């Protein structure tokens, strides 16, 4: 399988981009090549696609099911009762809907944590995306349930052979207030041994910090440091409530922070101090969280929310400029996840977007990256290519009607079950 994109705008210059199998093979002017698919790129710019490093994809099934509610009521009265009834088939339909909306807004990779993760993996396989997929681990602080939790994770890993390389299985312990020290320690050991990444919700709310101080005599980051959980393979999600010591620890371990601005704002989790993390050069990337607390998976929106909120909170409009926000949604998260991707260069994995430069939201055409961060309507994303395959062309994703019908039916069944 090969794709030739002719005369496309790359960093301000017209280029031909030749994709062979799943890599950018040649990038130059006037390539004398033919290909299985040829795209005339004259009206398009080619840009890296988005990498979303914190999601609960299947929660798109619960989009707008319960909004504007206190966190505790939201979980207890709405989300958890549904999740107790959710099946692998529901998760498949929810994750397929999520994949559809991700493709339509330019995302090619997501880092997921959810129940029945095999359903998510099947959806990713069918939709052609990349993903790191973890089963959410929750033992309610009961070390007696530790072995069972890790056994469930390994049952998932046993299916690895059934999936292409673009799908990887990882560890997803939920948070320090839902997972026992025993499970967290085992998770850390196994992840290192097996070479798997880990993601965990961390310091999301004031309550989490207060409870951690009460229960462990330490703040959440200090606690995870003390039990040997942290390392460069860990994605720390949220990190809204940090002090200088916390930031020193994150820095020391080379962690990546997944910043989910829309979720933090919608749930009133607190004020994310981007400027302080930036000052310490701690890698921060932008993510959406699940659609239940956002309520979509648009990385375009996530970039704009991150940039504008950082400016507002720091009182400085030069904080988090457009180029930085764009890198935090493309190159930085790809690098953080150890993917040879996130850039349009010969040899890199062939993930990219073709952007319709004639879309009104990108006019005038002075600064494409600023337009992508601050102004772009997702409709300007014409084509999405992931791993050398065209997932969307002319904004059409094959099978869209089936995906929508499947998700709608699954949601109806779930709430009436």
Torsion from C-alpha of 376, 379, 382, 388, nearest 10 degrees:
80
Please identify, using beta-carbon distances, which residue of 160 and 206 lies nearer to a copy of itself: 206
Question: Shortest Cβ distance from residue 404 to a copy of itself (Å)?
Answer: 5
Question: Shortest Cβ distance from residue 131 to a copy of itself (Å)?
Answer: 18
Question: Shortest Cβ distance from residue 317 to a copy of itself (Å)?
Answer: 5
Tell me the three state secondary structure of residue 71.
helix
Tell me the three state secondary structure of residue 319.
coil
Nearest by Cα to 132 from 120, 115, 149, 150: 120
Question: Shortest Cβ distance from residue 212 to a copy of itself (Å)?
Answer: 20
- What proportions of the chain, in percent to the nearest 5, are helix, strand and coil? 45, 25, 35
Segments of 166-233 assigned E as strands: 167-173, 198-202
Phi and psi dihedrals of 173, rounded to 5? -60, 130
Nearest by Cα to 369 from 283, 304, 277: 304
Please identify, using beta-carbon distances, which residue of 34 and 360 lies nearer to a copy of itself: 360
| Residue with tokens 């090619």, as numbered in its chain | 108
Please identify, using beta-carbon distances, which residue of 100 and 175 lies nearer to a copy of itself: 100
Question: Shortest Cβ distance from residue 369 to a copy of itself (Å)?
Answer: 9
Question: Shortest Cβ distance from residue 49 to a copy of itself (Å)?
Answer: 17
The Cα–Cα gap between 208 and 222 comes to 13
Nearest by Cα to 112 from 160, 174, 158: 174
Question: Shortest Cβ distance from residue 96 to a copy of itself (Å)?
Answer: 10
Tell me if 374 sits within 8 A of 322, measured CB to CB: yes
Please identify, using beta-carbon distances, which residue of 346 and 377 lies nearer to a copy of itself: 377
The Cα–Cα gap between 344 and 265 comes to 33
The vertex-177 CA angle with 172 and 179, nearest 5°, equals 45
Please identify, using beta-carbon distances, which residue of 279 and 312 lies nearer to a copy of itself: 312
Starting at the edge strand found earlier in the chain, the sheet holding 107-114 runs: 50-55, 107-114, 130-137, 167-173, 198-202, 234-238, 256-259, 284-286
Sites of contact with a copy of itself (CB under 8 A): 60-61, 63-65, 67-71, 74, 97, 100-101, 104-105, 262, 264-268, 271, 291, 294-296, 298, 301, 304-305, 307-309, 311-312, 314-322, 358, 360-361, 363-367, 370-371, 374-375, 377-379, 395, 400-401, 403-404, 407-408, 411-412
With b meaning 16 or more CB within 10 Å and e meaning fewer, what string describes 117-155? Answer: bbbbbbbbeebbbbbbbbbbbbbeeeeebbeebbeebee
Q: Strand pairing partners for 202?
A: 238
Question: Shortest Cβ distance from residue 307 to a copy of itself (Å)?
Answer: 8
The Cα–Cα gap between 217 and 33 comes to 65
Question: Shortest Cβ distance from residue 395 to a copy of itself (Å)?
Answer: 8
- Using a 10 angstrom Cβ sphere, with 0-12 exposed, 13-18 middle and 19 or more buried, the burial of residue 354 is buried
Please identify, using beta-carbon distances, which residue of 188 and 240 lies nearer to a copy of itself: 240
Question: Shortest Cβ distance from residue 71 to a copy of itself (Å)?
Answer: 7
Question: Shortest Cβ distance from residue 231 to a copy of itself (Å)?
Answer: 31
Please identify, using beta-carbon distances, which residue of 229 and 309 lies nearer to a copy of itself: 309
Residue 210, number of CB atoms within 10 A of its CB? 12
Please identify, using beta-carbon distances, which residue of 17 and 240 lies nearer to a copy of itself: 240
Please identify, using beta-carbon distances, which residue of 28 and 271 lies nearer to a copy of itself: 271
The Cα–Cα gap between 261 and 313 comes to 12
Please identify, using beta-carbon distances, which residue of 76 and 245 lies nearer to a copy of itself: 76
Please identify, using beta-carbon distances, which residue of 245 and 365 lies nearer to a copy of itself: 365
């Amino acid at each position: 399988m090969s794709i030739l994109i002719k005369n496309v705008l790359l960093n301000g210059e017209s280029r031909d981009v030749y994709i062979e199998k799943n890599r950018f093979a040649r990038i130059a002017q006037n390539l004398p090549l033919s290909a299985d698919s040829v795209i005339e790129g004259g009206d398009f710019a080619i840009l890296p696609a988005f990498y979303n490093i914190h999601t609960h994809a299947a929660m798109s099934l619960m989009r707008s099911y319960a909004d504007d509610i206190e966190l505790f009521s939201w979980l207890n009265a709405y989300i958890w009762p549904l999740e107790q009834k959710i099946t692998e088939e529901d998760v498949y339909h929810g994750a397929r809907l999520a994949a559809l909306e991700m493709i339509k807004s330019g995302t090619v990779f997501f880092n997921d944590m959810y129940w029945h993760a095999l359903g998510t993996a099947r959806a990713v396989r069918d939709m052609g995306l990349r993903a790191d997929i973890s089963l959410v681990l929750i033992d309610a602080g009961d070390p007696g349930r530790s072995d069972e939790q890790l056994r469930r994770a390994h049952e998932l890993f046993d299916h690895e052979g059934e999936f292409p390389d673009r799908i990887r299985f990882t560890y997803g312990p939920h948070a320090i207030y839902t997972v026992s020290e025993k499970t967290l320690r085992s998770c850390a050991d196994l992840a290192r041994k097996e070479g798997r990444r880990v993601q965990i919700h961390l310091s999301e709310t004031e309550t989490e910090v207060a409870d951690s101080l009460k229960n462990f005599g330490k703040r959440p980051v200090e606690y995870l440091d003390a039990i040997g959980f942290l390392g460069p393979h860990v994605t720390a999600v949220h990190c809204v409530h940090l002090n200088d010591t916390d930031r020193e620890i994150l820095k020391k371990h080379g962690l990546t922070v997944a910043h989910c601005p829309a979720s933090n704002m919608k749930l009133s989790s607190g004020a994310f101090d981007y400027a302080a993390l930036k000052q310490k050069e701690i890698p921060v990337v932008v993510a959406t969280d699940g659609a239940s607390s956002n309520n979509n998976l648009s990385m375009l929106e996530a970039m704009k929310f991150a940039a504008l909120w950082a400016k507002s909170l720091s009182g400085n409009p030069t904080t988090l400029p457009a180029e930085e926000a764009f890198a935090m949604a493309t190159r930085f998260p790809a690098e953080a996840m150890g993917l040879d991707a996130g850039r349009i260069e010969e040899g890199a994995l062939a993930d990219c977007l073709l952007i319709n430069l004639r879309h009104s939201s990108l006019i005038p055409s002075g600064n494409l990256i600023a337009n992508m961060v601050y102004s772009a309507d997702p409709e300007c994303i014409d084509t999405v290519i992931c791993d050398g395959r065209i997932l969307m062309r002319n904004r059409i994703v094959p099978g869209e009607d089936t995906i929508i019908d499947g998700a709608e039916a699954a949601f109806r069944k779930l709430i009436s079950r």
